[in-house]
Amino acid sequence: MNHTAITPSWDGLNIGLVGAGRLGASLVAALAAGGLRVVAVGSRNEAAAASAGARGALGSTSLQAVADHSDVVFITTLDAAIAPVAAGLRWRPGQLVLHCSGALSLDALSAAAEQGAATGCFYPLQTFAAGAGAGAWDGITVALEGEPSVLAFLSGLARRLGGKPIVLASGQKALFHAAAVFASNYTVTLIAGAADLWQRLGFDRDQALSGLLPILRGTVGNLERLGLPGALTGPIVRGDRATIERHL
């Protein structure tokens, strides 16, 4: 299907978001910090919609109102809701509809494409905890999918928000998302396992976390300075077999 060309022009651009969770809130802050205009944020949760309105955008429980007011719409809902949201709204030619999922392909937006809208993926490689603001976007990688004109637009947008864009080919999403889970979620799992060992020594989990965070920060710093495999330290690197046997 042929779509109206997407050009990287920011003047007068109206941006809307469907979904007012942690990612959505951080994206609103980043867009505002980048000098872009967020005109509407939609959520079926009245409290979340009201909170979005307090930040200067139209906060609405009508998702169609967001689509109607916006040239670019980010769908920042849970993955399972992206395709139903796209299918449940009216779109128009020349509009750009984006999702931010690390796992889903552009097929999730097929209903918008069938109505003439351009579609793309704008996936930030970042963990968004409660309270994450515009600073969470500084220096992060943003994975993009879409047609060439869409990619040109999204690359400029990623840089404007402080990110570094990369382009993923169709079918690469699952491996890319798995790498993100390894780096983020599995780190939390490893620290939880280390904290469990502290508990066997008689300390509580808060004490364990307080003791383990400095060594975790040191490891991240080593990765930044020395890369792989230079950041690895410990008994295996030293060939300290006796210590490893004691661990076992």
Calculated CA dihedral for residues 191, 196, 197, 201, nearest 10 degrees: 130
* Intra-chain end-to-end CA distance of the chain, in Å: 60
Q: Which residue stretches of the chain have pLDDT < 50? A: 1-5
- pLDDT for residue 7: 52
Taking only the tens place, the pLDDT of each residue in 194-231 is 999 999 999 999 999 999 999 999 999 999 999 999 99
Give the closest residue to 17 by CA, choosing from 40, 36, 50, 48: 40
- pLDDT for residue 55: 60
> Cis omega before residue 229 (within 30°)?
yes
Contact assessment for residue 38 and residue 16, using Cβ atoms and an 8 Å cutoff: yes
- pLDDT for residue 216: 97
For 50-103, list the strands marked E by DSSP: 58-60, 72-75, 96-99
Burial of 40 (C-beta count, 10 Å sphere; 0-12/13-18/19+): buried
Alpha-carbon 84 to chain mean position: 20
Kindly list the distances between the CA atom of residue 99 and the CA atoms of 128, 161, 225, 229, in Å, as whole numbers in the listed order. Answer: 16, 16, 34, 35
Average pLDDT in the chain:
90
- pLDDT for residue 25: 86
Q: Which helix (H) or strand (E) holds 230?
A: none
